[in-house]
Amino acid sequence: MKSSLGRFQAFITLAVLLVTPLAGSPAVAQVCGSASGRYVVRVQPGLLLFPTPTLDDFAAGWIEHGPVEVTVRPRGGKNRPWVLCLRADSPDMGSGKPISDLQYRSDNQATWTSITFGDQTLARGIQGSRIAIQFRILLDESTDPAGSYSADYTVTASRP
């Protein structure tokens, strides 16, 4: 087992998830509606680095990252309805690792959801709100090639 762990030393060490907060991009408009710049979205941290997985992580089948805080605020302090969406910007994380191996859940969800290349609703609201999102990457020592993986995702607030 020790030699297998060595094979994965670079795995996820440099796995970078970049967050691009957008408002009303055309790609999101079909599912999430149109925002017309009516919302402010802040994501902290905007860059996630997963640690190198341990044998215990492989035994568990995943490695987790602490919460990312997403703040949604309608511009001008107005109470406008909004929907917060999440989507992957590419179908894989490189080296053949599917994007569906990246999972998330918000602070009010008990189950994990695989991220997809299409829009997924995270939350809905009327006033400003903070949502904590946790991420994890599924691990499979027998199928995951050694290397570093990266994924970009987009968080969007828009009118429902």
d(CA 56, CA 33): 42
**Would 77 be classed as within a structural domain?**
yes
pLDDT on residue 138: 94
pTM: 0.77
**Would 13 be classed as within a structural domain?**
yes
pLDDT on residue 105: 93
**Would 95 be classed as within a structural domain?**
yes
What's 81's domain CATH number?
2.60.40
pLDDT on residue 73: 87
**Would 91 be classed as within a structural domain?**
yes
pLDDT on residue 93: 84
**Would 56 be classed as within a structural domain?**
yes
pLDDT on residue 36: 58
**Would 63 be classed as within a structural domain?**
yes
Buried b (16+ CB within 10 A) or exposed e, 47-59: ebebeebeeebbe
How many structural domains is the chain composed of? 1
pLDDT digits (tens, 9 = 90+) for 95-122: 778 899 999 998 888 999 999 988 899 8
pLDDT on residue 111: 94
**Would 145 be classed as within a structural domain?**
no
Range of the domain at 102: 2-140+150-158
pLDDT on residue 137: 92
Q: Which residues of the chain have pLDDT under 50?
A: 1-31
d(CA 152, CA 102): 11
pLDDT on residue 35: 56
